[in-house]
Homo-oligomer: A and B are copies of this chain.
Amino acid sequence: MAVAEKVARHRAAGYDVVVVVSAMSGETDRLLKLATSVHAEPPARELDVLLATGEQTTIALLSIALAKLGVAARSYTGSQVYIRTDNVHGKARILEIDARRARDDLAHGRVVVVAGFQGADEEGNITTLGRGGSDTTAVAMAAALHADECQIYTDVDGVYTSDPRIVPKARRLDRITDEEMLELSSLGAKVLQLRSVEFAGKYKVPLRVLSSFEDGPGTLITYEENEMEAPLISGIAFNRDEAKLTVRGVPDRPGIAAQILGDIGQANINVDMIVQNVGADGTTDFTFTVHRGDYGKAGEILKTVAKALNAREIIGDDKIVKISIVGVGMRSHAGIAGKMFKALADENINIQMISTSEIKISVVIDEKYLELGVRALHDAFGLDEPPATRPRARKAERASR
């Protein structure tokens, strides 16, 4: 196995290595199907017992492959290496890790192979952390062992300034802050599970995103970066799966937003951006975006709400995209928003909605301008150049955008 060789190389280079593995590709889905073929709603406790076999198979096989390469290794299930979680089966949270056993193996020169995605609750019941939980396990083990670095092997070779399929000039970032990473992840740049990044941030575990398939430095996720030295913008994310809905002419009084979104939430529809303009003549317009797959359902619900509110009309558009620029530099540097809007205006791209957070500015535009817009912004902020040559946020004062 390629993984075994990678581990053996690290070991040969003198590092103590703890490997956290996932189930083999497709295995978790196979087990899920097996369970639901028996019972459409399998008890969560028993489903966890079943799913946990996926990683248990991998740890055994990896340890066997390491033995083949002459590398001493020991495999451990989540419960064996004392990954204690709460008892929420299927999406348990890690409460604590007793790393003594792993530390003892490392002291004896053995590689420790740990089953990701799983643990045990206080009573010893097997739990799983939910999809992507293997990343979280790795971060938690790294934190418990005060590891120098936690390397996450993925199908990409790092975090990019934007999607290379859209922006050919997109560049791999050498480093990115955890906050930027969180914003990029939540904006559709799926590299790491959000939970593992949050977890890494909490314990300040240096996290590196690498490719499973090729060698390379990857991208290092850092914490407490000196903002002054950070590039203005680290990356540009986008999301094609959005649709927007506007309720026009609703009464401009407290409680309206809650009333409109209450029924939407009840229907389990997640709302992303929300914008409410300043009203005129006692009414206002209320706009929000939802996943494109929920567009029809959300529209139906709105009809009822709009009637009750005596709203003027409902308009919607499911041919939109959201583009966001992300960077901790914008905390301390003015003019970022203006630069963004100008870059889009220069391409004659109309901005339909704007929403901002501490380190992110998002706009909604017509979907046909997606590629044009992302590339224009990538150029405007000089993301294809190495950070050293780019303008940096050097001003000490916090500036408004």
Spell out A's residues near B (CB within 8 Å).
1, 31, 34-35, 38-39, 42-43, 45-47, 49-50, 52-53, 56-57, 59-61, 63-65, 67-68, 73-75, 77, 79-80, 124-126
Contact = CB atoms under 8 A, between A and B. Distances in A.
Given A39-B68, A53-B53, 20 more contacts: A34-B61, A35-B60, A35-B61, A38-B61, A38-B65, A38-B68, A39-B64, A39-B65, A39-B67, A42-B64, A46-B60, A46-B63, A46-B73, A49-B56, A50-B57, A50-B60, A50-B61, A50-B64, A52-B56, A80-B125
A46 B35 CA distance: 26
A33 to B, nearest CB: 12
A67 B35 CA distance: 12
Contact of A64 (B1, B47, B75): B47
Contacts of A126: 77, 80
Nearest to A123: B101
Contacts of A50: 56-57, 60-61, 64
A35 B75 CA distance: 14
A61 B64 CA distance: 27
Given A38-B1, A74-B45, A75-B46, A57 B65 contact: no
Contacts of A38: 1, 61, 64-65, 68
Copy total for this chain: 2
Greatest chain B CB density within 10 A among A43, A59, A65, A126 is at: A43
A49 B67 contact: no
A292 B46 CA distance: 47
A46 B34 contact: no
A103 to B, nearest CB: 15
A104 to B, nearest CB: 10
B124 A80 contact: yes
Contacts of A34: 57, 61
A42 B67 contact: yes
A43 to B, nearest CB: 5
- The 8 A-B residue pairs with the shortest CB-CB distance, nearest first, are A50-B60, A39-B68, A49-B60, A53-B53, A46-B63, A42-B64, A39-B64, A43-B67
A75 B49 contact: yes
Contacts of A42: 64, 67
A38 B34 CA distance: 26
Contacts of A77: 49, 126
A399 B336 CA distance: 107
Contacts of A64: 35, 38-39, 42-43, 46-47, 50
7 contacts: A39-B64, A43-B67, A45-B74, A47-B64, A49-B59, A52-B56, A80-B126
Nearest to A59: B49
A79 B120 CA distance: 12
Contacts of A59: 49
Greatest chain B CB density within 10 A among A53, A64, A73 is at: A64
Contacts of A67: 39, 42-43, 46
Contacts of A80: 79, 124-126
Nearest to A125: B80
A35 to B, nearest CB: 6
